[in-house]
Structure 1
Amino acid sequence: MNRNVLVPVDDSEPASDALEFATDHYGDATITALHVVDPTDFPVGGFESGVMTDIDQIRENQKGHAENLLEDVRERLTDRGVDVETAIEFGKPSNAIVEYADEHDVDLVTIGSHGRTGASRVLLGSVAETVVRRSPVPVTVVR
């Protein structure tokens, strides 16, 4: 029996599908929704008149977005009677997910896949693939 299932979440449909899968299949476990803020992923509008705005402000904006996203997840799962925890990490998403799973009491990672194939997967990389290869616990990939 899985006691703690880690589900990385963002605004994507695959992440939402992974969250649904985890709650449907592991509803008796604690679901930890993790959002990773990638400091290299600057949002549109991070530049004004060709000059970068304050990096701390960008980071705070990203953190605020993450908090709102996780609050939505918390409300949705709590309404369904699922025990949910949330966490925000900063860093490269694949590394942060693997490190979180390694450092916390995680039994399983359930992650969405964008389903990229061919050159786009090779050029862009795959967070899910990296997590599968490096995770210290089993990983379920939801397509």
Structure 2
Amino acid sequence: MYDVILVPTDGSEAALDAAKHAYGLGERYDATVHVLAVVEQSESASIVGQGTEKLETLRENGTEATKKIVEEALSRDVDAVGAVEIGNPYRVILEYATDNDVDVIVMSTHGRSGVSRFLRGSVTERVIRGGDIPVLAVQR
């Protein structure tokens, strides 16, 4: 049913919770888990005047976040790969999923509502509405 599973991560505990569901699917279907961290475009835009240090820090944070999930997947005998991209998170997630023939996206949702959701938006909601790939949204 699933050959390729995508887990977007921001390094949060909620993302680690979602990854646990991806491990289970990976084990059950002998699928490869792709772990993706996205450095937000708005953050990288502010880097222009600050040199490459901030960009490197953000990439390192993304690399560490993906590495943690990839290592856990591998310890469970689930094939896994990690990637770090720069851009608008929901757009990058959908493009990555399309480019890598992802069968399902497993991602966290913080369950925000009201003003917080209106102001910050929901990457998970945008991924669900913007793509045609099934999304398993794990609420923390």
**TM-score range for the pair, normalised by the shorter chain length:** 0.7 to 0.9
Q: CA deviation at 1:64?
A: 1.6
Runs (4+) off by over 6 Å: none
The answer on whether the counterparts of 2:32 and 2:80 sit within 8 Å (CA) in structure 1 is yes
Match in the other structure for 1:38? 40
Q: CA deviation at 1:110?
A: 0.7
The answer to whether 1:3 aligns with 2:28 is no
Matched residue count: 135
Q: CA deviation at 1:86?
A: 0.9
Q: CA deviation at 1:38?
A: 1.1
The answer to whether 1:15 aligns with 2:12 is no
Bigger fraction of residues in helix: 2
Superposition pairs of residues 53-132 of structure 1, within 5 angstroms: 53-54=50-51, 56-132=52-128
Q: CA deviation at 1:40?
A: 2.0
Q: CA deviation at 1:41?
A: 2.8
What runs of 5+ residues in structure 1 fail to find an aligned partner? none
Letter in 2 for 1:131: V
Match in the other structure for 2:25? 25
Q: CA deviation at 1:85?
A: 1.1
Distance across 2 between alignment mates of 1:103 and 1:92 = 16
| TM-score, reference length from structure 2 | 0.88
Distance across 2 between alignment mates of 1:33 and 1:26 = 12
Q: Percent same amino acid at aligned positions?
A: 36
Helix, strand or coil at the partner of 2:43: coil
1:80-106 superposed Cα distances (whole Å, 9 cap, x missing partner): 111101111110111110111122211
Distance across 2 between alignment mates of 1:102 and 1:74 = 20
The answer on whether the counterparts of 2:16 and 2:69 sit within 8 Å (CA) in structure 1 is no
The answer on whether the counterparts of 1:101 and 1:136 sit within 8 Å (CA) in structure 2 is no
Q: CA deviation at 1:58?
A: 1.0
Q: CA deviation at 1:4?
A: 0.2
Letter in 2 for 1:35: A
| TM-score, reference length from structure 1 | 0.86
The answer on whether the counterparts of 2:25 and 2:31 sit within 8 Å (CA) in structure 1 is no
What runs of 5+ residues in structure 2 fail to find an aligned partner? none
RMSD: 1.8
